[in-house]
Structures are given as structure tokens and as C-alpha cells.
Amino acid sequence: MDFAGFFKRWLIALVLVLVTYNPTAFNYLSWTFDELQVDLPYKLLVGLILVVGYVIFLRATFRSIGIFGIVLIAAIFGVIIWILVDQQMLDPTNRDALIWIILVVVATIMGVGVSWSHVRRRISGQADVDDVEE
């Protein structure tokens, strides 16, 4: 398995998600909506770059693992979070901790989605081909 490749794709997804929003004041949404008219062209440029990133990652994720795969991965993480709460390792009233966990889960789902074709090829020996050049 190419764990370095998966880690790079996951890290890019994590940066994309955390730059968009996180519980601190250092994120795109806070920067944009605190003073909407200040630096508007820069905010628009960064926003468009983020949209391009999401289109790439979400399109690849939906095409490779589909809605069923997304729900399945989310359910696995949901049960892991439930176990952590049940074992009192995670406080369900800690809003910021839950937001951080959800952001990491979203990035992980996108990382798996972008990497799934590589994993499937390694397991089955078959390549996914969506676009055929004529």
C-alpha cells in the first residue's frame, strides 16, 4: 500500500477543511464574515480556490466510494466517537473538541474518497477508468 500517497491526499483534504472552518478565529469563514467589505477581492479569490478544492475532492469521493461509502465511513467514525464518549475519554459537552473531530472525519472521508481508486487497484489489480479518450 502507498501510505505516503494516502497521507498526502488526506493532509491536503485536512488543510482544505481546516482552512475553511475551525473553532479558532483563523479560518476563511471568520475572516470573510467579520468585515465583509474589507479585502473583498482577496476573500473572493481565496473562496474560489477553496471551491475548486472542494469540487475536486468531493467529485472524486462521490465517484469512487459513493454515498453508501460516505455513510459507512461516517458510521464507523460515529461508533468510534460513541465508544470514546462511553469510555469517558471524550466529553460530549465539549463543543470545540467535537467540531475538531468532525472536521478530521470529513477530511478523512475525502482522503479515502480520493485515494480509493489507488487502494482498489492494489487489492483487485483492476484500474478504475471513468473517462475514455477517443
What contacts 62, CB < 8 A, 6 or more positions away?
Answer: 70, 113
User: Per the domain annotation, does 84 fall within a domain?
Assistant: yes
The model's pLDDT over 69-116, given as tens digits with 9 standing for 90+, comes to 999 999 999 999 999 999 999 999 999 999 999 999 999 999 999 998
Question: Would you state the pLDDT for residue 95?
Answer: 95
User: Per the domain annotation, does 29 fall within a domain?
Assistant: yes
Strand stretches in the chain, DSSP E = none
Domain that holds residue 51: 3-122
Q: pLDDT above 90 covers what percent of the chain?
A: 78
Report which residue type is found at 77: F
What contacts 57, CB < 8 A, 6 or more positions away?
Answer: 13, 16, 110, 113, 114
User: Per the domain annotation, does 130 fall within a domain?
Assistant: no
User: Per the domain annotation, does 132 fall within a domain?
Assistant: no
Domains of the chain: total: 1
The model's pLDDT over 39-53, given as tens digits with 9 standing for 90+, comes to 999 999 999 999 999
Question: Would you state the pLDDT for residue 127?
Answer: 65
130: confidence class by pLDDT, cuts 50, 70, 90: low
Q: How far apart are CA 132 and CA 8, in angstroms?
A: 27
| Cβ(107)–Cβ(12) below 8 Å | no
